[in-house]
């Protein structure tokens, strides 16, 4: 059983268009509505592979009820925590070349009493009769949530011997390293922000991941977009890639990658191969749809036992937040 916690869940509407022209009327060529939020996506990917998962989500208003319904339709055991306010909605405009323009609503504020309920619900979900192999906390912190929230949750889980994975960024990620999580999954920009230097080569990514391990993480799965991923753990560093010729949407691909890694550990598969193949499968699908078994192409994954550390990564860092480490 893998329990996920999503503090900032959403309803995600994906609209496919021929081209986005600012200020013009644009007709949709396709649309879909999915349950959203990083932890929610991890549960969706696991459920698509018939792996047991339980999603802990704070929900409010009619949007929260709709999100619960969508999750249950995908076969996910939902642990809904009622909170004041409403569940946010996000919109993604996707062009044929894979360009995605996102408009995300801010998450609703969570009060201290809400956070206590969420922690209690997560611990109860993990300590249930079937027990949890992992608890995964994913996503940004909504307004009112202290940066130390994930670190405190991880410390509580450690008391029960439950492995804790964190996928977040900024101060929340820095604080979470202090609780010794079993896994953190930064992307390239989050990795650079955490260690204070640019990630321009595979070697930079390995060096940064090793620094994060030195700060407390047992393992670091760093997603590098189209360049694949680096896994650094007690066995050393491995680099792999899974090329995608015709990507449709990268929304949720990192969440699918994290789900694949966790699934590999539960099913005794190669966790890095599962991570890369699930992430690539998500890129080939529309919107934030999560891949099922028929979408995954493990044979396309290339894992390099000895990584070429000088290999440059394609494309620049995102500009936001990169000025201070140039």
Identify which of 218, 216, 229 has the alpha carbon closest to the alpha carbon of residue 256. 229
pLDDT digits (tens, 9 = 90+) for 51-63: 999 999 999 989 9
Residue-range domain boundaries for the chain: 2-18+28-315
pLDDT digits (tens, 9 = 90+) for 14-38: 899 999 999 999 999 999 898 999 9
- Rounded to the nearest integer, the mean pLDDT of the chain is 91
Identify which of 282, 223, 252 has the alpha carbon closest to the alpha carbon of residue 102. 252
Residue with tokens 């696991």: 46
What is the average per-residue pLDDT within 298-303? Answer: 93
pLDDT digits (tens, 9 = 90+) for 147-171: 999 999 999 999 989 999 999 999 9
Q: What is the pLDDT of residue 286?
A: 81
> Any bridge partners for residue 53, and if so which?
2
| C-alpha span between 37 and 55 (Å, rounded) | 11
Q: What is the pLDDT of residue 85?
A: 78
Name the fold adopted by 2-18+28-315.
Answer: 3.40.1190
Give the torsion sign (CA, 206, 208, 213, 218): negative
**Please, which pLDDT band fits residue 322 given cuts at 50, 70 and 90?**
very low
| C-alpha span between 50 and 55 (Å, rounded) | 14
| C-alpha span between 42 and 6 (Å, rounded) | 10
Q: Coil, strand or helix: which one is 57?
A: strand
Question: Could you tell me the two tokens for 311?
Answer: 């290999």
**Please, which pLDDT band fits residue 318 given cuts at 50, 70 and 90?**
low
Q: Coil, strand or helix: which one is 125?
A: helix
In the structure, how many helices (H) and strands (E) does the chain have?
9, 14
pLDDT digits (tens, 9 = 90+) for 65-124: 999 999 999 999 999 999 987 899 999 898 888 788 989 888 888 999 999 999 999 999
Length of the chain measured in residues = 326
The residues annotated with a catalytic role in the active site are 255
What is the average per-residue pLDDT within 29-51? Answer: 94
What is the average per-residue pLDDT within 214-219? Answer: 97
Q: Both ends of the chain: CA-CA distance in Å?
A: 42
Residue with tokens 């964190």: 166
pLDDT digits (tens, 9 = 90+) for 109-126: 899 999 999 999 999 999
pLDDT digits (tens, 9 = 90+) for 253-284: 999 999 999 999 876 679 999 999 999 999 99
What is the average per-residue pLDDT within 289-298? Answer: 95
Share of the chain above pLDDT 70, in %: 94
Q: What is the pLDDT of residue 204?
A: 96
| C-alpha span between 325 and 189 (Å, rounded) | 11
Better-predicted residue by pLDDT, 52 or 143: 52
| C-alpha span between 194 and 237 (Å, rounded) | 18
């Amino acid at each position: 059983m893998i329990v996920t916690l999503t503090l900032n869940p959403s309803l995600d509407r994906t609209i496919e268009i021929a081209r986005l022209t600012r200020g013009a009327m644009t007709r949709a060529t396709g649309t879909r509505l999915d349950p959203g939020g990083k932890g929610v996506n991890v549960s969706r990917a696991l459920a698509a592979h018939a792996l047991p998962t339980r999603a802990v989500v704070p929900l409010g208003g009619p949007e929260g009820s709709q999100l619960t319904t969508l999750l249950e339709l995908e076969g996910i055991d939902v642990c809904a925590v009622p909170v004041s306010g409403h569940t946010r909605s996000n919109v993604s405009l996707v062009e044929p070349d894979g360009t995605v323009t996102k408009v995300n609503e801010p998450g609703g504020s969570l009060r201290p009493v809400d956070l206590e309920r969420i922690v209690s619900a997560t611990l109860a979900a993990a300590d249930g009769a079937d027990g949890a192999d992992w608890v995964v906390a994913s996503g940004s912190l909504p307004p009112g949530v202290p940066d130390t929230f994930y670190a405190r949750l991880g410390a509580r889980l450690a008391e029960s011997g439950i492995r804790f994975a964190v996928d977040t960024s900024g101060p929340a990620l820095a604080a979470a390293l202090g609780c010794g999580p079993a896994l953190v999954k930064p992307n390239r920009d989050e990795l650079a922000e955490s260690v204070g230097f640019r990630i321009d080569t595979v070697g930079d990514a390995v060096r940064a991941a090793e620094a994060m391990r030195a700060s407390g993480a047992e393992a670091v799965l760093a997603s590098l977009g189209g360049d694949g991923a680096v896994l650094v753990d007690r066995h050393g560093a491995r680099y792999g890639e899974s090329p995608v010729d015709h990507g449709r949407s990268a929304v949720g691909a990192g969440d699918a990658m994290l789900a694949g890694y966790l699934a590999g550990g539960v099913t005794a598969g190669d966790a890095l191969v599962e991570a890369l193949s699930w992430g690539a499968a998500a890129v080939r699908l529309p919107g934030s749809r999560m891949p099922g078994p028929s979408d995954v192409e493990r044979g396309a994954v290339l894992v390099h036992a000895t990584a070429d550390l000088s290999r440059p990564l394609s494309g620049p860092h995102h500009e936001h937040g990169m000025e201070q480490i140039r």
